[in-house]
A and B are shown apart, each in its own frame.
Chain A
């Protein structure tokens, strides 16, 4: 299916929406009426045609807009990109993984030609063409990791595996749900996830770490994470909290359906062949309550999940100010019908 890339903005006037197709394929994360953290990791295998998991890296109608937004965020704050010096092999691993995946899965948009180590990469939607020597950073216009992170939707963290844990030793992070790469770079798995309430007590982080340290080359894994956010803003960083924090005061019963968005992260992790590191891809999908309620099954489900949410999670996910109003708005769709387990829209 040919993609029509939309012109859109993720700040200021927020000119953003999902097409009917995009709504239907939205990765709705709630299979049941209640939610609590779990190690919901599964193999990142090929999903149904048209789904967000059809390919290793999903390219959708927001591709051009998101790549542009990445560039704006990075231009305003270079600290969104950081990589420690020992991660150069992992940088090239990332280049290979992303270029091969995009060229293979979306040949109408991307191409990769290889002549030994002489590679030529072409990205038609962003109008980029570049020849370089694979493994020779001097032939790239910038760090290899930064180069490709700018051309794939989502955030990327390079994990180094040593001392029986994973260290976040590099990252390109411009669409994060309130965590700071500049602060977290170099942290071990446990330190990095330390502020997540309940997860430590539940043992979730330790089990996830054990699982991830054993993922194999060619067998990536994935999970979904979520939060609710005001406005379709990708850059909800702590760095720019003074810019978006007050948005939480602007929600009222009239605008709530357009303002509040379900923000879902498709997180996938790939073992890297040279460095034995892992790339952690965090791809963000945004959908307004109004768009989501196109499918009553989703609206009913979200109502029940939010109504029974643990207070710690309401606070941690920054929903305190608008949570009761949101539950009230969602209640209009919920007739009490029993919903079977599953995330499907209908």
Chain B
């Protein structure tokens, strides 16, 4: 495709910024996303109640600094699974007017979003900052499996083993990019595999 071509379903992520009129703030972050939380807290400590759920990663752990900076409601948990459980139980206690902030990999952000969706929080009501990696979750359009953390232009499907071309077309419902068998027309004929989502 020529220069200027842009698939508009690809989400645009920005830097986290406070919604000043929120009644409470819920921040969920992973690994390098801890830095996004610190940036947010440098701007302001809001008047309203804050909850921060953070899971460190081996290559990015901001726990120590967060413990010093976050005034209240900080929960540091060691796995993504625990974060999601805590998120679920926390959302049960919060009310309309709460604003949700998410920072981490794309996979992490949309997994969090899926939990929030269950509580009627729509995409537009969440703020997302992409941190740490450009790795993509890929939905195999053929076998429907989702392969996580794909860093290359072509990735092997974890479900059916087909080599998938990673498109820019993104489904918020699935939280993944579309993967389409790359050599369907000429079996075995694969283009060069390159890391383009490090």
State which residues 287-331 of A face B: CB under 8 Å. 312, 321
| Chain B residue with Cβ nearest A238 | B141
Which residues from chain A contact B186 at a C-beta distance below 8 Å? 246, 249
Which residues from chain A contact B171 at a C-beta distance below 8 Å? 183-184, 186-187, 191
B178 at the interface (CB under 8 A from A): yes
A10 to B184, CA, bound (A): 20
B81 at the interface (CB under 8 A from A): no
A194 to B8, CA, bound (A): 5
State which residues 167-218 of A face B: CB under 8 Å. 180, 182-187, 190-192, 194-195, 197, 200-201
Give the interface centre of B10, B124, B174 by most chain A CB atoms within 10 Å: B174
B173 at the interface (CB under 8 A from A): yes
State which residues 86-130 of B face A: CB under 8 Å. 122, 124
**Nearest chain B CB to A243's CB is how many angstroms away?**
8
**Nearest chain B CB to A320's CB is how many angstroms away?**
10
B1 at the interface (CB under 8 A from A): yes
A183 to B162, CA, bound (A): 18
Q: Select B9's contact among A190, A239, A240, beta carbons within 8 Å.
A: A190
Q: Select A241's contact among B4, B6, B139, B180, beta carbons within 8 Å.
A: B180
B181 at the interface (CB under 8 A from A): yes
A79 to B145, CA, bound (A): 13
B7 at the interface (CB under 8 A from A): yes
A338 to B51, CA, bound (A): 72
Q: Are A245 and B185 in contact (CB under 8 A)?
A: yes
Which residues from chain B contact A238 at a C-beta distance below 8 Å? 141-142, 178, 180
Give the interface centre of B1, B5, B171 by most chain A CB atoms within 10 Å: B171
A163 at the interface (CB under 8 A from B): yes
Contact-residue size bin, chain B (C-beta under 8 Å from the other chain): 20 to 34
| Chain B residue with Cβ nearest A201 | B4
Q: Are A191 and B9 in contact (CB under 8 A)?
A: yes
| Chain A residue with Cβ nearest B10 | A194
Which residues from chain B contact A200 at a C-beta distance below 8 Å? 6, 8
Which residues from chain A contact B72 at a C-beta distance below 8 Å? none
Contact A242 B142, CB 8 Å, known A190-B9, A194-B8, A248-B185:
yes
What sequence of 0s and 1s flags, for each residue 1-27 of chain B, a beta carbon within 8 Å of any chain A beta carbon? Answer: 110111111100000000000000000
B39 at the interface (CB under 8 A from A): no
A185 to B167, CA, bound (A): 17
A195 to B167, CA, bound (A): 9
Q: Are B5 and A197 in contact (CB under 8 A)?
A: yes
B45 at the interface (CB under 8 A from A): no
State which residues 153-177 of B face A: CB under 8 Å. 162, 167, 169-174
What sequence of 0s and 1s flags, for each residue 142-164 of chain A, a beta carbon within 8 Å of any chain B beta carbon? Answer: 00000000000000000000010
Contact A195 B7, CB 8 Å, known A182-B144, A242-B184, A245-B185:
yes
Which residues from chain B contact A246 at a C-beta distance below 8 Å? 184-187
| Chain A residue with Cβ nearest B123 | A188
Q: Are B1 and A197 in contact (CB under 8 A)?
A: yes
Which residues from chain B contact A79 at a C-beta distance below 8 Å? 144
A186 to B139, CA, bound (A): 15
Q: Are A186 and B184 in contact (CB under 8 A)?
A: no
Which residues from chain B contact A186 at a C-beta distance below 8 Å? 171-173
| Chain B residue with Cβ nearest A163 | B124
**Nearest chain A CB to B144's CB is how many angstroms away?**
6
Q: Are A245 and B184 in contact (CB under 8 A)?
A: yes
Which residues from chain A contact B169 at a C-beta distance below 8 Å? 183, 194-195
A245 to B6, CA, bound (A): 25
Which residues from chain A contact B144 at a C-beta distance below 8 Å? 79, 182
Which residues from chain B contact A180 at a C-beta distance below 8 Å? 141, 178
**Nearest chain A CB to B182's CB is how many angstroms away?**
10
A248 to B142, CA, bound (A): 19
Q: Are A190 and B185 in contact (CB under 8 A)?
A: no
Q: Are A185 and B9 in contact (CB under 8 A)?
A: no
| Chain A residue with Cβ nearest B171 | A183
A239 to B170, CA, bound (A): 16
A186 to B113, CA, bound (A): 14
Which residues from chain A contact B167 at a C-beta distance below 8 Å? 195
Q: Select A191's contact among B1, B6, B141, B172, beta carbons within 8 Å.
A: B172
Q: Are B173 and A187 in contact (CB under 8 A)?
A: yes
List the interface of chain B (C-beta within 8 A of A).
Answer: 1-2, 4-10, 122, 124, 139, 141-142, 144, 162, 167, 169-174, 178, 180-181, 184-187
Between-chain CB contacts (< 8 Å), 18 pairs: A163-B124, A183-B171, A183-B174, A184-B171, A187-B9, A187-B171, A187-B172, A190-B9, A194-B9, A195-B7, A195-B9, A238-B141, A238-B180, A240-B142, A241-B142, A245-B184, A246-B185, A312-B1
List the interface of chain A (C-beta within 8 A of B).
Answer: 79, 163, 180, 182-187, 190-192, 194-195, 197, 200-201, 238-242, 245-246, 248-249, 312, 321
The 6 A-B pairs of least Cβ separation, nearest first, read A245-B184, A186-B173, A194-B9, A191-B9, A194-B8, A245-B185
